[in-house]
Copies of this chain bind each other. A is one copy, B any other.
Amino acid sequence: MPYTRTDLAMEAFENTEGGAVPGVSVSHWETDCVQITEVLVTDNEAARELGKPKGSYLTLECPRLLERDPEARLATASLLTEELDRLLPRREGGAPVLVVGLGNRNITPDSLGPGVVDRTLTTRHILGAPCAAGRMNSVCAIAPGVLGVTGIESMELVEALVKALQPSAILCVDSLAARDSRRIGCTIQLTDTGIQPGAGVGNHRKPLTRESVGTPVISVGMPTVVYAATLARDAFAWLSSQSGDESPHEEALADMEHTLLSADIGEMIVTPREIDAIVQDAAGIIASGINRALQPELSDEEIAAMMD
């Protein structure tokens, strides 16, 4: 099995060539224009083989998002709302939900999380607002990797806030790396496994999981890049398979990477030239799904008016 890097559990599974993997169950279905894949990783060996921790991974794919089709956007946001509603613990008492936008606002393909935070309706400080008193859930939001914070790791800051705010749940949003560039900007992954070290475009160094912070952690991500090394390997594998050659040795691939991609300027990524607009657009869809899931008693118009 060739080595590939992807933050999507469904791609990690495809990578096993579609064969059955013990401890992994996969289902597909489709509603409106969205294809849904659920990957359940149920034992530790399967987790090791896929490189994804045990848990549930739901992927929503909707290529029409890239055409900015209003119907497709609505359908995707609605599905996201439903699934978040299923994953989030029942809100009890006044404990807020903490939305965490991971990533760096100044690195475009890593800025999905901060973009969603900017569009999230935060209510913890206005729960008593006359217009919606008694109908709002408490929500606060932070983008810990923005300029304003330096010398402090994102996860340290989140941990400190979790201690202070005692949220009922954490909802993380992050930019992901895919294997297939066609999934960029039109695929959303939801999981109850939180954030793992090494995942995301920003490559987090510490985990953010129920185990690490003692609170349920749901994460929502969208691929914004493919690693250049992954693309180069796939280009070769595809051509080999076309010509009936056997797959190249790992050694040859590593040599190729070293030769073509070994610049001293950090890792090379593949991304659409229009990534800035794609990320802004996706941030709007994801925030819409989140706002509805967190504020089921407010109408879309009320949410929009309060966001202004």
Contact = CB atoms under 8 A, between A and B. Distances in A.
Interface in A51-73: 63, 66-68, 70
Contacts of A149: 141-143, 148
Given A181-B261, A273-B107, A117 B281 contact: no
A157 B159 CA distance: 11
Contacts of A253: 239
A272 B269 CA distance: 6
Contacts of A147: 118, 143, 146
Contacts of A159: 164
Total copies of this chain within the assembly: 4
A231 interface: yes
Contact of A235 (B63, B66, B232, B281): B232
Contacts of A242: 252, 255-256
Interface stretch (A31-39, A86-94, A120-128, A207-215): A120-128
A236 B234 CA distance: 10
Nearest to A125: B151
A289 interface: no
- Tell which of A186, A234, A248 has the most Cβ of chain B within 10 Å: A234
Given A163-B160, A273-B107, A308-B281, A101 B148 contact: yes
Contact of A259 (B67, B157, B238): B238
- Tell which of A260, A262, A281 has the most Cβ of chain B within 10 Å: A260
Contact of A228 (B63, B101, B125, B181): B181
B140 A63 contact: no
Interface residues of A, number: 91
B164 A151 contact: no
B272 A263 contact: yes
A142 B152 contact: yes
Contacts of A256: 235, 238-239, 242
A17 interface: no
Contacts of A243: 248, 252
Interface in A105-137: 105-110, 114, 117-118, 120, 122-125
Given A108-B276, A114-B148, 5 more contacts: A181-B261, A265-B278, A267-B272, A267-B273, A268-B271
